[in-house]
Structure 1
Amino acid sequence: MTTPPAAATAVPAPPRWAVRAAHLAAVTALPSGLWRLGLVAGWHGGYTEAGYRAMGFSGWGAVWPVFLSLSTEALALLTIGLVRPWGTVPPRWMPFLGGRPVDPRAVVAAASLGAAGLALLWTPFAAWWAMPGADMTPRGHFLVGFLYLPTVAWAPLLAAVTVSYHRRHRRHPATATATATATATATATTAPRPRAA
């Protein structure tokens, strides 16, 4: 088991509610993503025959729904970083950021913008059943509304976990000292020692 860097261990542990909220946020996009992947695999997913053909889910038409499903779920999984040590110091295998402490202010800003964007994008799906569904069967239109409904919760869950992340990093000034100490120690141990004459 890898020992977390000093900067990560200096931050207080997240409250239990934040851990649960982060894991819940990470799966909010999963039902709709699986639905899109099913469409690419040939399942009509609630569309009428004509509606399914009009969507063009074969060939290059399959690239967008697959990309959207995978990238959306990857972004949702990033929420877990707000309650894990790798949200303070990314693992070493990550390009550009690995092994170096991140600026909590940048993390909070990015997560806050993400929450605002998600609210604008997904909140309208709460009114899915009031939207027309001419290219879908009545049962399919009803079902798809339930598959997209969890995404509405993504924004408030991410916002709540972001507030928790901000509070934990703001209330613990030792983080900055631990970060500086860890960086100085790493530099000292990797620097070549001069040879005696």
Structure 2
Amino acid sequence: MPRINALPDVPRWAALAAHAVPLVTLPSGLWRIALVAGLPVAAEPVRTVGESLYVLSLTVVSEALALLTLGLVQPWGETVPRWIPLLGGRNVPPLAAVIPALAGATALFGLWGWVGYVMAANLAAGSVTDTPAQLVLLLACYLPLLAWAPLLTVSAIAYYRRRTPANGMLTFMS
């Protein structure tokens, strides 16, 4: 079985989870890019430059945040890369990575509750898509995002357990 690119002491399941995060965010980003490009993926096209910039920024930011998950299994998640001014070469305190990761996962869980409610209302009203094909494409591109929060959660917990002594705070999860 081929090795996933990760530190040697990272469990395979944790490396797979961390590497899956950027992949589950990619389809929605591609859908948003198609929307900005004017492809018929939704009922309403993006109309203004401001809307286009917002949609593209959302895509870039979400993919960048997803890529940060790789730091939970890569060397740069344990030691700040040397090229970063003032911090380069220093060890990353485990909680400096775990707290933002778990806060992000919590935000994603909450966001999905709200987005699910809004999407259900909009889909029921028929205001998001015009055709069944558009609806299928929208769901195929956005449903993988549901995995982001749990994948980030297990990646952060694995990082914490690997980087802290056995008598640490989260040992109840052993």
Fold match by TM threshold 0.5: yes
Match of 2:149 among 155, 174, 181: 155
Match of 1:38 among 30, 34, 39: 34
Which residue number in structure 2 is paired with residue 166 of structure 1? 160
Which residue number in structure 2 is paired with residue 77 of structure 1? 67
- Please list the CA deviations of residues 171-196 of structure 1 after superposition, one character each: whole Å capped at 9, or x if unmatched: 379xxxxxxxxxxxxxxxxxxxxxxx
Does the CA-based 8 Å contact 1:36-1:66 persist in structure 2? Answer: yes
Give the % identical residues.
41
- Cα 1:157/1:93, change in 2 over 3 Å: same
Instruction: Select the structure of larger CA radius of gyration.
Output: 1
Counting matched residue pairs gives 157
The alignment partner of 2:110 has SS state of: helix
Which residue number in structure 2 is paired with residue 28 of structure 1? 24
Using the TM superposition, give the Cα deviation of residue 148 of structure 1 relative to its aligned residue in structure 2, in angstroms: 0.6
Using the TM superposition, give the Cα deviation of residue 112 of structure 1 relative to its aligned residue in structure 2, in angstroms: 0.8
1:91 pairs with 2:62: no
- Cα 1:45/1:94, change in 2 over 3 Å: farther
Give, in whole Å, the separation in 2 of the partners of 1:162 and 1:44. 38
TM-score relative to the length of structure 2: 0.80
Using the TM superposition, give the Cα deviation of residue 42 of structure 1 relative to its aligned residue in structure 2, in angstroms: 1.4
- Gaps of at least 5 residues in structure 2 are 1-6, 168-174
Does the CA-based 8 Å contact 2:94-2:163 persist in structure 1? Answer: yes
- Gaps of at least 5 residues in structure 1 are 1-10, 174-197
- Cα 1:96/1:42, change in 2 over 3 Å: farther
- Please list the CA deviations of residues 145-177 of structure 1 after superposition, one character each: whole Å capped at 9, or x if unmatched: 22111111000000001110010111379xxxx
What is the letter of the counterpart of residue 152 of structure 1?
A: L
Does the CA-based 8 Å contact 1:22-1:83 persist in structure 2? Answer: yes
Does the CA-based 8 Å contact 1:123-1:152 persist in structure 2? Answer: no
Match of 1:141 among 123, 135, 140: 135
What is the letter of the counterpart of residue 85 of structure 1?
A: P
The alignment partner of 1:167 has SS state of: helix
The alignment partner of 1:46 has SS state of: coil
TM-score relative to the length of structure 1: 0.71
- Cα 1:15/1:126, change in 2 over 3 Å: farther
- Cα 1:108/1:65, change in 2 over 3 Å: same
The alignment partner of 1:43 has SS state of: coil
- Please list the CA deviations of residues 102-150 of structure 1 after superposition, one character each: whole Å capped at 9, or x if unmatched: 1111211111101101111135556787443323213212320221111
Does the CA-based 8 Å contact 2:35-2:42 persist in structure 1? Answer: no
Give, in whole Å, the separation in 1 of the partners of 2:23 and 2:84. 23
- Cα 1:146/1:82, change in 2 over 3 Å: same
Give, in whole Å, the separation in 1 of the partners of 2:39 and 2:143. 20
Match of 2:112 among 122, 126, 129: 122
Give, in whole Å, the separation in 1 of the partners of 2:111 and 2:93. 27
CA RMSD of aligned residues (A): 2.3
Match of 1:101 among 80, 91, 116: 91
What is the letter of the counterpart of residue 67 of structure 2?
A: L
What is the letter of the counterpart of residue 137 of structure 1?
A: D
Give, in whole Å, the separation in 1 of the partners of 2:31 and 2:95. 36
